[in-house]
Structure 1
Amino acid sequence: MMIYYFFYSYRPATAATITLLVIWQSHYAHRVFIYPFMIRGNNRVPLVTVLLALLFNFINTYVQGRWLFSLAPESLYTASWLHDPRFVIGVTVFFAGYALNKHADHRLRNLRTPGESGYAIPGGGVFEYISCPNYLGEIITWTGWAIATWSLAGVFFLVWTLANLGPRAVAHHRWYRQTFPDYPEQRKALIPYIL
Structure 2
Amino acid sequence: MAHDIFNLICWIWIGIGVITFIVLLKIPQPYGRHSNTNRGPMINNRHGWLIMELPALLVFVYFAQLTTNWLNLTLLTAFALWVWHYFNRAIIYPFRLKTKGKKMPVVIMGPTIFFNLVNGFFNGYWLARFVPEDKIDFNTDLRIFIGAVVFLAGFIINQYHDTLLINLRKGENTGYKIPYGGLFRFVSCPNFLGEIITWLGFFIVTLSLPALAFLIWTLANLVPRALGHHKWYRNEFADYPAKRKAVLPFLV
TM-score w.r.t. the length of structure 1 is 0.92
Contact 2:98/2:170 (8 A) holds in 1: no
Q: 1:67 and 2:67 equivalent?
A: no
- Aligned counterpart in structure 2 of residue 87 of structure 1, from 126, 139, 144: 144
Cα distance between partner residues in 2 of 1:2 and 1:84: 24
> Is residue 2:237 matched to residue 1:180?
yes
Amino acid at match of 2:85: H
Distance in structure 2 (CA, Å) of the matches to 1:193 and 1:12: 44
- Alignment partner, residue 153 of structure 1: 210
Aligned to 1:21: 79
For residue 44 of structure 1, the aligned residue among 103, 106, 110 is 103
Letter in structure 2 aligned against 1:151: S
CA distance in 2, matches of 1:66, 1:79: 23
Superposition map of 1:156-175 within 5 A:
156-175=213-232
Query: Do the aligned residues in 1 keep the contact of 2:65 with 2:128 (CA within 8 Å)?
Result: no
Query: Displacement, 1:23?
Result: 1.1
> Pairwise mapping of residues 60-139 of structure 1 onto structure 2 (< 5 A)?
60-73=119-132, 75=133, 77=134, 84-139=141-196
Q: CA deviation at 1:47?
A: 1.0
Alpha-carbon contact 2:98-2:174 (below 8 Å) kept: no
What is the CA–CA distance in structure 2 between the aligned matches of 1:163 and 1:81, rounded to whole Å? 34
- Greater relative CO, 1 or 2 (CA 8 Å, sep 6+): 2
Moved more, 77-86 or 179-188: 77-86
Find the aligned partners of 2:250 and 2:185 in 1 and give their Cα distance: 11
Counterpart amino acid of residue 241 in structure 2: P
How far does residue 49 in structure 1 lie from its aligned partner after superposition?
1.6
CA distance in 2, matches of 1:37, 1:82: 40
Amino acid at match of 1:118: G
TM-aligned CA deviation for residue 80 of structure 1? 5.2
How far did residue 5 of structure 1 move? Answer: 2.2
List runs of 5+ in structure 1 lacking aligned partners: none
| Percent pairwise identity | 42
Q: 1:55 aligns with which of 98, 106, 114?
A: 114
Please state whether the residue corresponding to 1:45 is helix, strand or coil: strand
Query: 1: distance between equivalents of 2:143 and 2:69?
Result: 22
Superposed CA offset, 1:83-121 (max 9, x none): 522211111100000000000100000112221132100
Could you say if the C-alpha distance between residues 36 and 113 of structure 1 is closer, same or farther in structure 2, counting changes exceeding 3 Å? same
Q: How many residues align?
A: 192
Letter in 2 for 1:30: N
Which segments of 5 or more consecutive residues in structure 2 lack a partner in the other structure? 1-58
* Aligned-CA RMSD value: 1.7
C-alpha contact 1:121 1:183 (8 A) present in aligned 2: yes
Q: Distance in 2 between matches of 1:71 and 1:172?
A: 39
